[in-house]
Amino acid sequence: MSTLATDFIRNRIREDLENDVVDGTIVTRFPPEPNGYLHIGHAKSICLNFGVAAEFGGKTYLRFDDTNPSKESEEFVHSIQEDVRWLGFDWEDRLTFASDYFEQLYSFATQLIEKDKAFVCDLTADEIRATRGTLTEPGSDSPFRTRSIAENLDLFRRMRDGEYADGAKVLRAKIDMASPNLNMRDPVLYRILHLAHHRTGDSWCVYPLYDFTHCICDALEGITHSLCTLEFEDHRPLYDWVLDNVSINFHPPQIEFSRLGLEFNVMSKRILTSLIDSGQVEGWDDPRLPTIAGLRRRGVPAAAIRDFCSRVGVTKQANLVETSLLDFCVRAELEDTAPRGMAVVEPLLVTVINFEGDDIELEARNHPKNLELGSRRLTFGRELYIERSDFAVTASKKQRKLTLNGLARLRYGFIVECVDVINDDSGLPIELKVRYVENSRSGQDTSGLKPKATLHWVSKANAVHAEIRLFERLFNVREPDGSSFESDVNGNSLRSHHGFVERAAVESKWNPCQFERNGFFAFDSSSTPDRPVFNRIVSLMSSKK
């Protein structure tokens, strides 16, 4: 980035450095839970955490918050690392897991018991909820709150030793059941879960909860600024309480910023998981999803995502960002760098009835401005394809189509006149008969004709059959809540076409590329040399609403 970003977090860091609140090195962390793939909301947090550390000469940990073995897996641990790396960030040797600290966390919990700041509670989850009170009414003390320190120590050890069933007991902080902040009403710190953990196996059957784990890991790693999203604002007093009551003499400040929302998308891993499980999309890397893996597969460059995150900025205001901003960043990134070719998505056969002899070779630049991208040869012959939507028997001048008895220029090639239309039984055109104007070759045109329409096309001899996938938004509603896929999911979000692309685009593996007038495209991961598959990353112009 050429100019240094300023926002309330960077300003705060500058102040802390000036006032010697931190000892010179800024340390941040990105703490994903490995219970799903990363999405563009996470990218905002990644760009922020890795970005500020880099700007201030600091360092960043990639720390997995792996305290819930029921939802976590190695697949997610791998995908998250791949995505962070692909986004362009490097944690170097700072890859950690909350589970690295399980032994320490356990002993900090024991310390709390020893200070009479935590107790083992036998209430069920429902009973704990029922005695928690409400925003207007205080909760009530657990009958187990007065257990002796010795009894609590003994019971907590036996919880660890596996003597009790899941849910039979929990360890709770002893704070204040009348606190106006519900998070401070004797929150649960540890629960029993007889489940194998993807890293620690069967070593543990008690697992610490997020609020207890996160602050301690931050402190142990010397995180100078613990940046998280606004929903944790109400948890901050608990973050501070834990660190004030265990013996660690480092206390990071928790600083909250607003989550990124993208309209017509969901970011919740729970909803993403159910979209996948219910078969609405093909998997975590479905190009219609706002996941990093999906965006990558679609062909969105990492630089466009970083640009997007920096344009969105960091504030405390809730933001539901328009998808057009992401599209803008993608176009801006690809505009000058993606080679351009031609593809016909919905082909209509055109026969040039006055063409005879050998095909004519034409030269076409691969980019109008970026000459480094070179040029390629096209062939013009008797049979070619144009876009079905570029023909109409009659059309107004504004529509810029080829019409019956009308003229159009074939880009880089010749002007043609449509003299006949052959329809199928249902009246749909299946072939056009045209005549080409011999002295109208692009660059050497002496015909004096000025057709309004210029069309993209592919000659049959130069065409490679390709599947071309066009995407629309996955949801019809601006802020889907995942409650009704049936009404909210757009049934047309994926349209797969059997079209033709220029041979050069396939053989030179232009990736991504622009197919003129159709948009920017990239090879799908399922593509093979014999069966190319292209994803449309974004169209060329924002469609009018």
Which of the residues are catalytic?
A: 33, 259, 269
Phi, psi of 350 (to 5 degrees): -125, 125
The residue among 68 and 152 lying less far from ligand ATP, judged by its C-beta, is 68
Please, what is the minimum distance in Å from the beta carbon of residue 66 to ligand ATP? 10
Task: Say which entry of Mg ion, ligand ATP, none residue 229 contacts (CB below 5 to 8 A, set by partner kind).
Answer: ligand ATP
Task: Say which entry of ligand ATP, Mg ion, none residue 225 contacts (CB below 5 to 8 A, set by partner kind).
Answer: none
The DSSP-derived string for 427-439 is S-EEEEEEEE-GG
- Report cis status (omega within 30 of 0) of the bond before 512: yes
Element (DSSP H or E) covering residue 487: helix 485-488
Please, what is the minimum distance in Å from the beta carbon of residue 327 to ligand ATP? 19
Site string for Mg ion, 33-62 (x = CB under 5 A): x-----------------------------
How wide is the angle at C-alpha 186 spanned by C-alphas 180 and 192, nearest 5°? 145
Other residues' Cβ atoms within 10 Å of the Cβ of residue 53: 24
Which of 332, 483, 457 has the alpha carbon at shortest distance from 402? 457
Please, what is the minimum distance in Å from the beta carbon of residue 248 to ligand ATP? 21
The residue among 45 and 96 lying less far from ligand ATP, judged by its C-beta, is 45
Please, what is the minimum distance in Å from the beta carbon of residue 416 to Mg ion? 59
Residue 137 identity (one-letter amino acid):
E
Q: Return the residue matching tokens 């519900």.
A: 182
Please, what is the minimum distance in Å from the beta carbon of residue 45 to ligand ATP? 4
Task: Say which entry of Mg ion, ligand ATP, none residue 132 contacts (CB below 5 to 8 A, set by partner kind).
Answer: none
The residue among 33 and 122 lying less far from Mg ion, judged by its C-beta, is 33
Please, what is the minimum distance in Å from the beta carbon of residue 270 to ligand ATP? 6
Report CA-CA distances (Å) from 71 to 39, 267, 299, 465, 480: 17, 17, 29, 42, 23
Please state, in angstroms and rounded to a whole number, the distance separating the CA atoms of residues 499 and 468: 6
**CB nearest Mg ion: which residue?**
33
Point out which residues pair with 119 in neighbouring strands. 172
- As given in the structure block, the two tokens for residue 376 are 């390629």
Task: Say which entry of ligand ATP, Mg ion, none residue 319 contacts (CB below 5 to 8 A, set by partner kind).
Answer: none
Q: Return the residue matching tokens 């200070």.
A: 115
The residue among 266 and 432 lying less far from Mg ion, judged by its C-beta, is 266
Task: Say which entry of ligand ATP, Mg ion, none residue 100 contacts (CB below 5 to 8 A, set by partner kind).
Answer: none
Stretch that binds Mg ion, among 26-34, 236-244, 355-363, 371-379 (CB under 5 A): 26-34
Alpha helices in 299-348, H assignment, sequence order = 302-312, 323-334
Report CA-CA distances (Å) from 411 to 362, 406, 414, 516: 10, 16, 7, 10
**CB nearest ligand ATP: which residue?**
41
Element (DSSP H or E) covering residue 171: strand 170-173
Pairing of strands 463-471, 533-538: parallel
- As given in the structure block, the two tokens for residue 262 are 């993208």
CA 543 to chain centre: 22
The residue among 33 and 524 lying less far from Mg ion, judged by its C-beta, is 33
- As given in the structure block, the two tokens for residue 419 are 């003299």
The residue among 42 and 456 lying less far from ligand ATP, judged by its C-beta, is 42
Please, what is the minimum distance in Å from the beta carbon of residue 161 to ligand ATP? 30
The residue among 256 and 502 lying less far from ligand ATP, judged by its C-beta, is 256
The residue among 177 and 220 lying less far from ligand ATP, judged by its C-beta, is 220
Q: Are the beta carbons of 532 and 520 closer than 8 angstroms?
A: no
Point out which residues pair with 376 in neighbouring strands. 364
Task: Say which entry of Mg ion, ligand ATP, none residue 259 contacts (CB below 5 to 8 A, set by partner kind).
Answer: ligand ATP
Please, what is the minimum distance in Å from the beta carbon of residue 41 to ligand ATP? 2
Task: Say which entry of Mg ion, ligand ATP, none residue 413 contacts (CB below 5 to 8 A, set by partner kind).
Answer: none
CA 439 to chain centre: 51
Please, what is the minimum distance in Å from the beta carbon of residue 69 to ligand ATP? 15
Please state, in angstroms and rounded to a whole number, the distance separating the CA atoms of residues 456 and 413: 10
Please state, in angstroms and rounded to a whole number, the distance separating the CA atoms of residues 394 and 400: 11
Please, what is the minimum distance in Å from the beta carbon of residue 375 to Mg ion? 51
The residue among 42 and 536 lying less far from ligand ATP, judged by its C-beta, is 42
The residue among 71 and 473 lying less far from Mg ion, judged by its C-beta, is 71
Please state, in angstroms and rounded to a whole number, the distance separating the CA atoms of residues 407 and 155: 88
* List of residues contacting ligand ATP (CB under 6 A): 31-33, 41-42, 44-45, 65, 228-229, 259-260, 267-269
Task: Say which entry of ligand ATP, Mg ion, none residue 152 contacts (CB below 5 to 8 A, set by partner kind).
Answer: none
- As given in the structure block, the two tokens for residue 229 are 């999203």
Stretch that binds Mg ion, among 32-40, 51-59, 234-242, 381-389 (CB under 5 A): 32-40
Q: Are the beta carbons of 207 and 191 closer than 8 angstroms?
A: yes
Instruction: Say if residue 310 is exposed, middle or buried (CB neighbours under 10 Å; 0-12, 13-18, 19+).
Output: middle
Please state, in angstroms and rounded to a whole number, the distance separating the CA atoms of residues 361 and 448: 22
- Which residues of the shown chain bind Mg ion in the complex (CB under 5 A)? 33
